[in-house]
Amino acid sequence: MELNLMDDNSQKETVARAFFEKLNFMDLPEHFNWAEEIFEGLHLKERGDQKALIWADIATGESKAFTYDEFARHGNQCLNSLRNFGVEKGDNMYMIVPIVPETWFASYACIKGGLIAVPTAITMTMRELQFRFKSYAPDIIVSEASFTDMMDEALIAEGITPKAKIVLGKKSGWTSFSDHEKEPARAEAAKTRSDDTLFCFFISGTTGLPKRVGHTATSYPLGHLSTAVMAGIRPADIHHNLGAPEWAKWAWSSFFVPLNVGATATGFNFTTLDGEQYLDAIARHKISTFCASDRMADVRQYRHIKI
């Protein structure tokens, strides 16, 4: 945070080089819980009333904002709700959801509770879903309502009964995500080891079937300090990443990069990418820094912007 507050000059380059040299060779602590130690231990205490997340739907214009205090409360309530189903440290959670605030809260619950988040594309076919379930059976599923029929079909086909099925909205046989709001606003953090796996991505199957890749309690929080420095994100900046939750890029730039340094994360939901609407949303919410993948080319054709 102090590094990014420096002016861009040779002194900053020297300090940055020394900082990352130290990180590259440091001994990691035996235990580390980012949600407890960084989000709550640092940012919640120092900037509880600052916005942690701004969400908008670019088609409808609907928007919501959550402070660091509100963000932690929703994440803790989600974790407490999951524990009511017997969910334990080391269990996995498939998340098949669009760009909605619940994605951030569920991810936070996984980190604090030592659960393994498995972000999953909303474009999954039945065959692709069965392959994943057979390879790595789900303990918990969080799904948007329109995907629940396929989820149930895949679970029956593979003979899997998860501990919990959570739906955004309402669905018979599923628990509504909004029910977590009845739970206490504080939750006990799991004692996660630095090398405990907390994220599992099924990477591209371009050269074969999708393969599982895990990331630990430290690999993303620590590794993407470099991303935060490259993007120059400062505390209180409003940072945006054009990316959906099922991609690792979302975890880097929509979650850890802004929330590591006390900035504000943003998420804009859409079905069909309309460049004009998207750029209007960026301007409306006063985005300070922007990260994008190759999908940004779809937006740039509409209006010149500096990235």
Q: What is the pLDDT, as a whole number, of residue 205? A: 64
3-state secondary structure the chain: CCCCCCCCCHHHHHHHHHHHHHHHHCCCCCECCHHHHHHHHHHHHHHCCCEEEEEEECCCCCEEEEEHHHHHHHHHHHHHHHHCCCCCCCCEEEEECCCCHHHHHHHHHHHHHCCEEEECCCCCCHHHHHHHHHHCCCCEEEEEHHHHHHHHHHHHHHCCCCCEEEEECCCCCCEEHHHHHHCCCCCCCCCCECCCEEEEEEECCCCCCCEEEEEECCHHHHHCHHHHHHHCCCCCCEEEEECCCCCHHHHHHHHHHHHHCCCEEEEEECCCCCHHHHHHHHHHCCCCEEEECCCHHHHHCCCCCCC
CATH number at residue 138: 3.40.50.12780
184 in a structural domain:
yes
Q: What is the pLDDT, as a whole number, of residue 71? A: 98
Q: Chunk the chain into consecutive blocks of 10 residues (it has 307) and report each block's average pLDDT, rounded to whole numbers.
A: 87 91 91 98 97 94 96 98 98 96 97 97 92 96 96 97 97 96 97 97 80 93 89 91 84 92 94 86 85 48 36
131 in a structural domain:
yes
35 in a structural domain:
yes
14 in a structural domain:
no
State which residues form the domain around 274.
29-300
4 in a structural domain:
no
5 in a structural domain:
no
Q: What is the pLDDT, as a whole number, of residue 227? A: 87
7 in a structural domain:
no
214 in a structural domain:
yes
Q: What is the pLDDT, as a whole number, of residue 292? A: 59
pTM for the whole structure:
0.91
Domain count, the chain: 1
Q: What is the pLDDT, as a whole number, of residue 104? A: 97
Q: What is the pLDDT, as a whole number, of residue 155? A: 97
Half-sphere exposure at residue 129, Cβ-oriented, CA atoms within 13 angstroms: 25
